[in-house]
Amino acid sequence: MENNKSILLCLEKLDIGGVETYVYNQAVALKRKGYNVIILSKKGILCKKLESQDIKCINFDFENKIYYDKNKINELLEIIKQYNVNEVHINQLSGINIIFPACIVAKVPYIVYLHMTPTIIENQNLNPYDYFEEQFITYKENLKLLFKYAYKIIAVTSIIKDYTIDRYQILDKKKCIVLPNSINFEEYANKKNVTEIKRLAIISRVTFEKVQSIINGINLYKCLKEKSNQKVFLTIVGDGNELNNIKNYVKENDIKDVTFLGGISNVNEIIEKHDIIIGLERCILEAIAMKRLAIISGYNNTKGLVKNENIAKEIEENFCGRQLEDINIDKIAKEILNMNIEKINEIVEKNYNIIRNKLDINNNIYTTNLDEYEYDINISDFMLEMININHKIGKKEESSSNIIEKNWNEHLEYKKWMKEKESILKKECDDLREQIAEINKTIKKENKGVKDYLRKIIKK
């Protein structure tokens, strides 16, 4: 089906991760419906897969700043104009100070996606709203504006929808809807059934908030390995700034037969080669779509297998395990080892049939279907003025901050130079003392020789 509409999908980077793979699935589904799809982000490992399907990927750095960066906004306005963009989908909060002002000036509707889970929101250290508001002083008000002028706000769970409405006092509640995290089943078609429990995989972004869940998965693998009568293997898929810490944990605990793959784009192929997938959120959905046993590793404690009796709850909460009880890894290992192939097939088939009916992305994507769109009267002109004023003030503050930072760095460099100079002078003084000591030793020795010689002469 041909469609003249162009849709711009925005996110931080096209790398491995739940949001990234959702955007990949979203882009492919929109393309198949006939839309012209453009993705704006830093380029990553998913670019080649997207470009091979005639989906344009534009390299763009959504640098977070406290002000409206006029240069970046103008750059985005040119892209909107060049590709005749009809609507914009904002998949992450990074760079909203660039995206939503540009949309308002260009008079293009935008849709905001809230991919976070209830477990993330409830944790003060992980809550993205808290993070952005603390790091960038203008974000609290800008988030209010973002939601106020959004054409639609789409959350993956009703808890996130209600929380956002309440936190940012969104008056038009009807524009806030829930679309569960969904998948392209053609992309994750299963070709090989599970015949034994031998290969496990942990799939996750290896960042601070996911460390404990990865360690939970590793501990479960170790427990299963110790109890199993056959050799069991673990593959850890994913990349991030905590990867070395995870590798050290495996080494320090002497856990054998573990392979690290790093970040990859062919997650479906990796899932197909394994019998059990351990992780959180989207990777659980992908595992179920490929008819694999899926274990939710939990943000704090392990939650166990996804089965017929708990899958409905987990769909509601994006497979984060929030409503599930903590389960001891020893109990999970015993449950897995006591399963025969018939029981495994029963679990994976039931899980698959449930998500096949509810989580097909072809049925769960949203577009505005608007030919024209107008914001509130005069808001576009007002936003243009705001960008100009805010940019000038922000640049001035940024310049002042840069000068302060430059002076401070020069001060630190001077302190470092003084410390190095002091160290050099100390060494030179120590060397001189040693030389003087050696000279004094020589003089003392020579004086002793002279005295001995004089005594001999006097005796004669």
Q: What is the pLDDT of residue 434?
A: 81
**24-to-13, 16, 294 alpha-carbon distances in Å:** 11, 10, 22
> Across residues 199-226, what is the average pLDDT?
94
> Across residues 307-325, what is the average pLDDT?
91
Q: What is the pLDDT of residue 91?
A: 95
Are residues 199 and 231 in contact, defined by beta-carbon separation less than 8 angstroms? no
Q: What is the pLDDT of residue 401?
A: 46
> Across residues 382-398, what is the average pLDDT?
65
Q: Is it the case that residue 36 has pLDDT exceeding 90? A: yes
- pLDDT greater at residue 395 or residue 41: 41
> Across residues 317-323, what is the average pLDDT?
89
Q: What is the pLDDT of residue 189?
A: 85
Q: What is the pLDDT of residue 404?
A: 44
Q: What is the pLDDT of residue 441?
A: 77
Q: Is it the case that residue 237 has pLDDT exceeding 60? A: yes
Q: What is the pLDDT of residue 456?
A: 67
Tens digits of per-residue pLDDT, 162-189?
A: 999 999 999 999 999 999 999 999 888 8
Q: What is the pLDDT of residue 125?
A: 84
Q: How confident is the model at residue 420 (pLDDT cuts 50, 70, 90)?
A: confident
Q: How confident is the model at residue 160 (pLDDT cuts 50, 70, 90)?
A: very high
Residues in contact with 417: Cβ distance below 8 Å, sequence separation at least 6, in sequence order: none
HEC secondary structure over 342-402 = HHHHHHHHHHHHHHHHHCEHHHCCCCCCCCCCCCCCCHHHHHHHHHHHHHHHHHHHHHHHH
**∠ CA 347-28-39, rounded to 5°:** 125
Are residues 305 and 295 in contact, defined by beta-carbon separation less than 8 angstroms? yes
Please provide the DSSP assignment of 192-207 as one string.
Answer: S---SS-EEEEE---S
Q: Is it the case that residue 403 has pLDDT exceeding 60? A: no
**∠ CA 444-447-449, rounded to 5°:** 110
Residue range(s) of every CATH 3.40.50.2000 domain in the chain: 6-179, 199-361
Q: What is the pLDDT of residue 168?
A: 95
Q: What is the pLDDT of residue 139?
A: 84
Measured distance CA(258)–CA(246) in Å, rounded: 11
What mean pLDDT is reported for the chain?
87
Q: What H or E segment, with its residue span, contains residue 139? A: helix 139-149
CA–centroid distance for 163 within its chain:
21
Q: Name the maximum alpha-carbon separation found in the chain.
A: 127
In eight-state DSSP terms, residue 183 is B
The CATH architecture that domain 6-179 belongs to is 3-Layer(aba) Sandwich (3.40)
Q: Is it the case that residue 251 has pLDDT exceeding 90? A: yes
> Across residues 346-351, what is the average pLDDT?
95
Q: Is it the case that residue 402 has pLDDT exceeding 60? A: no
Q: How confident is the model at residue 375 (pLDDT cuts 50, 70, 90)?
A: confident
Using DSSP's 3-state secondary structure scheme, residue 127 falls into coil
Are residues 259 and 233 in contact, defined by beta-carbon separation less than 8 angstroms? yes
Q: Under CATH, which number does the domain 199-361 receive? A: 3.40.50.2000
Q: What is the pLDDT of residue 455?
A: 67
**Percent of the chain scored above 70 by pLDDT?**
89
Task: Report strand pairing: 176-178 vs 152-155.
Answer: parallel
Nearest to 159 by CA among 282, 323, 310: 323
> Across residues 62-88, what is the average pLDDT?
90
Q: What is the pLDDT of residue 191?
A: 77
Angle between helices 379-459 and 96-106 (to 10 degrees): 150
Q: Is it the case that residue 397 has pLDDT exceeding 60? A: no
- pLDDT greater at residue 427 or residue 287: 287
Are residues 181 and 359 in contact, defined by beta-carbon separation less than 8 angstroms? yes
Are residues 309 and 320 in contact, defined by beta-carbon separation less than 8 angstroms? no
Tens digits of per-residue pLDDT, 1-14?
A: 556 799 999 999 88
Q: What is the pLDDT of residue 417?
A: 64
> Across residues 45-66, what is the average pLDDT?
90
Q: What is the pLDDT of residue 95?
A: 86
Q: Is it the case that residue 408 has pLDDT exceeding 60? A: no
Q: What is the pLDDT of residue 380?
A: 76
